[in-house]
A and B are shown apart, each in its own frame.
Chain A
Amino acid sequence: MLVLDRVSKTYPNGVHALGGVSVEVDPGEIVAVIGGSGCGKSTLLRAISGLDPASEGTVLLDGERISAPHQKIGIIFQEPRLLPWLKVAGNVGFGLGDRPKQERAARVATTLKRVGLADKAAMWPRELSGGQAQRVAIARALVPRPEVLLLDEPFSALDAFTRTDLQDHLLDLWADAKPTLILVTHDVDEAIVLADRVMVMCPRPGRIFDEIAVDLPRPRDRQSAAFDFVKRRVLAALDRSLSRAVAPADGEAKASAGAALWW
């Protein structure tokens, strides 16, 4: 179980990016984090990953305090961040450097097959399309079998078609070992398609503003009325999170708050 206890983050330049976030995430749960730009979503994810630890509060995974990158936690960034000097197979096996060669090769092969890129193993990252590269990045993060997988807007650089394709694919992969997923996104549809719970954050400092449970059976139909109902609730929460955060500081920003979300 992943427990965040009053996680705060103040950057060295004085920006108070997170103001006490407390959440409990069950093993295998999928949580989407959504909120206006600059509200601290990436900061939160980096604090959980240990790449950029919290300045106050604690992140506990199965009772163990996380203050540096941990073997049970994998992360997928917005860009694939493949190492250009390693072929696809080398990139996928990057996190298995300490394993015997044979085991590494076997696990890389099965994972590549699982993400549908078995035929690309000997290619250089530059020869892949954006969607293929991101799938390699997903494979790289999955190969060490993390208990928690963090994703920071993993599909936002892709076109709409590839994006829905990879969302479905991610769910499919998740079903294998059911790791905990924490997904930061700007895309409300994406959040509702994937998550068990949508957390809406508000800025300055970043806090959890609202939580919306998504009790829809999977696979979820993006066109269904129930989906639309949840979507409306999430959008309403978002709107309120933005206006409440902005109103005291600046009245006129209120009107554009809805639009600001998308940037």
Chain B
Amino acid sequence: MALVTMTIAAEQRGAVPAERTAAKKWARLARPALGLVLPVTLAVVWEFVVRMGWASGRLAPPPSVIFQEFVDLARSGDLQRNTLVTLGRVAAGFGCGVAVATIVGAAAGYSPVIRRLLDPSLQALRAIPSIAWVPLFVLWLGIFEASKITLIAVGVFFPVYLGVMGAIQSVDRKLVEVGRAFRLSDVQMVRRILLPAVLPAYVIALRSGLGLGWMFVAAAELLGASEGLGYLLLDGQELGKPAEIVAAIVAFAVVGKATDWLIALAAAPFLRWEDVVRQE
């Protein structure tokens, strides 16, 4: 009897770890899935409500209609063409904004004189909501690409500028001293100490800059464009096609997320050392 109890106990003890790892694996998969429960439920419920005829779904189309609109837009090539146009604008604005912000931010972070010279003006400009520039940009640059790209670049500029400046200022002086003790030249100091030290904050700055870039491309296109995802939004509004609007919104979300993910992916190999901290 005692022997039997003991073997059972032993078996149970042996079973526990296996069960626990299985449960852990499940939990790891389930945790992100939990976030899907709400949107999926809402979508299914709304689809059901419209199918049953309890609501017309004219102003808020059900998922199936949006999907159909997506397919139609893709089949006609409108989706791809407009997405590419918007993507091109973001790329151009982001590129210009990042380039200028990196140079100015690095200079201001490195040299107190330049910081005192530039930073107050830039901080003042930052207080202006970027959209407020639009009329001026249109007057100066016309209603076509140049004014849109400038607006995006301005939106991208500020977070990247602040991020770069802050990152350079907060580089650990003690690590710079290690570089000095090993007699690094200025170029080596930048390459072997400053760049790696600044990179994590820079990637974060780039990602928030990109987020603003997407925000401002939508604003710029809504204010007047003949193509682009923002144009689809306008078109859907004017023709009373909510499905087209939602399809454009979804396209914005997908492409925006994808570009953000690309930056994260490109930076990941250089930031592996950071992961060690995050895991703790």
Interface residue ranges, A against B (CB under 8 Å) = 49, 51, 68-71, 74-75, 77, 79, 81, 83-86, 94-95, 97, 124, 126-127, 144
Contacts and interface: CB of A to CB of B under 8 A. Distances in A.
Contacts of B273: 84-86, 124, 126
B276 A83 contact: no
21 contacts: A49-B181, A51-B180, A51-B181, A69-B181, A69-B183, A75-B181, A77-B174, A77-B177, A77-B178, A81-B177, A81-B178, A83-B175, A83-B196, A85-B196, A85-B197, A85-B199, A94-B182, A94-B192, A97-B182, A124-B273, A127-B276
A124 B180 contact: no
Interface in B179-235: 180-184, 188, 192-193, 196-197, 199
Contacts of A97: 182, 184, 188, 192
Nearest to A124: B276
A77 B199 CA distance: 25
A99 to B, nearest CB: 12
Nearest to B271: A85
Contacts, number: 47
A68 B183 CA distance: 8
B181 A83 contact: no
B253 to A, nearest CB: 33
Interface of B: 174-175, 177-178, 180-184, 188, 192-193, 196-197, 199, 270, 273, 276-277
Contacts of B182: 69, 94-95, 97, 144
A144 B178 CA distance: 14
A124 B175 CA distance: 16
A73 to B, nearest CB: 8
Nearest to B277: A126
B35 to A, nearest CB: 30
Nearest to B178: A81
A152 B199 CA distance: 30
A79 B192 contact: no
A234 B180 CA distance: 34
A248 B276 CA distance: 54
Nearest to B172: A81
A77 B175 CA distance: 11
A192 to B, nearest CB: 28
Given A85-B196, A94-B192, 10 more contacts: A51-B180, A68-B183, A71-B183, A74-B181, A75-B181, A85-B273, A97-B182, A124-B276, A126-B276, A126-B277
A51 B183 CA distance: 10
Contacts of B181: 49, 51, 69, 74-75
A83 B196 CA distance: 9
Contacts of A69: 180-183
- A49, A74, A124, A144: residue with the most chain B Cβ atoms closer than 10 Å: A124
- A81, A83, A95: residue with the most chain B Cβ atoms closer than 10 Å: A83
Contacts of A127: 276
A49 B180 CA distance: 10
A136 B180 CA distance: 18
Nearest to B183: A69
Contact of A83 (B180, B183, B188, B193): B193
Contacts of B276: 124, 126-127
Nearest to B197: A85
Contact of B174 (A70, A74, A79, A126): A79
The 3 tightest CB contacts between A and B, nearest first, are A85-B196, A85-B273, A126-B276
A184 to B, nearest CB: 15
Contacts of A94: 178, 182, 192
A94 B192 CA distance: 9
A186 to B, nearest CB: 20
A99 B277 CA distance: 31
B272 to A, nearest CB: 8
